[in-house]
Amino acid sequence: MKPMPIADLHKVAQDLAETGNRVSVLWQEPDSLAFVARGREYRSEFHIDPCDEVMFMIKGDMNLHYRTPEGKEEISVLKEGETIHTPAGVPHSPRFPPDAFVLVLERQRRDGEIDRFQWFCPSCDNFLHEEQFVVSDYATDPVSRAYQNFFDSEEFRTCSQCGTVMPTP
């Protein structure tokens, strides 16, 4: 029998705050992945996950930006102690401060599944750029890698429609 891990979510959040790390993976199994994430005040992209996600706010509040099938940006506010289900394929952007923490439950990626990260112009909402990653190990923090690729390129951050350059965080 495999071990059944028990995680003290408040202790994990405290460790993240003390170390400055952004993610602590609790476990990764083919059908069950759990991690605690600390807020990123600079988050601006929309993540398109190939599987469903369940998010539970351990501490603090989150503005969960998401894009409707028509491409309109909406916001759901997730308060401390609340949970939300985000279906696979919904572009979403969890935005919350670094002193807030969320538990994320999903599953490991299957062969051929790709996570996508998209940015839109802050002035006119035109599509700017997409980063894609095969996420075989969530501990590698694909969000940070996507951000580095995007923000290291002024070309990626420049809107072809209105010329606005998204500032670096």
Instruction: Let me know: does 23 contact 45? Beta carbons within 8 Å.
Output: no
Read out DSSP for 7-37?
--HHHHHHHHHHH--SEEEEEEETTEEEEEE
Q: How far apart are CA 136 and CA 11, in angstroms?
A: 26
Per-residue pLDDT of the chain (169 residues; tens, 9 = 90+): 677 889 999 999 999 999 999 999 999 888 999 999 999 888 899 999 999 999 999 999 999 999 999 999 999 999 999 999 999 999 999 999 999 999 999 998 898 899 999 999 999 999 999 999 888 777 777 777 888 999 999 999 999 999 999 998 8
Quote the CA–CA distance of 38 and 125 in Å, as a whole number: 27
The pair of structure tokens assigned to 89 is 């394929």
pLDDT computed for residue 1 by the predictor: 64
The strand pairing partners of 28, in sequence order, are 33
Looking at residue 169, its pLDDT comes to 82
pTM: 0.90
DSSP letter for each residue of 36-91: EEE--TT---EEE-SS-EEEEEEES-EEEEEE-TTS-EEEEEE-TT-EEEE-TT--
Residue at token pair 């028990």: 6
pLDDT on residue 39: 94
CA–CA separation, 118 vs 6, rounded Å? 34
CATH number for the region 9-157 comes to 2.60.120.10
Sorted by where each begins, the domain ranges of the chain are 9-157
pLDDT value at residue 162: 97
pLDDT (0 to 100) of residue 139: 72
Tell me the one-letter amino acid at 167.
P
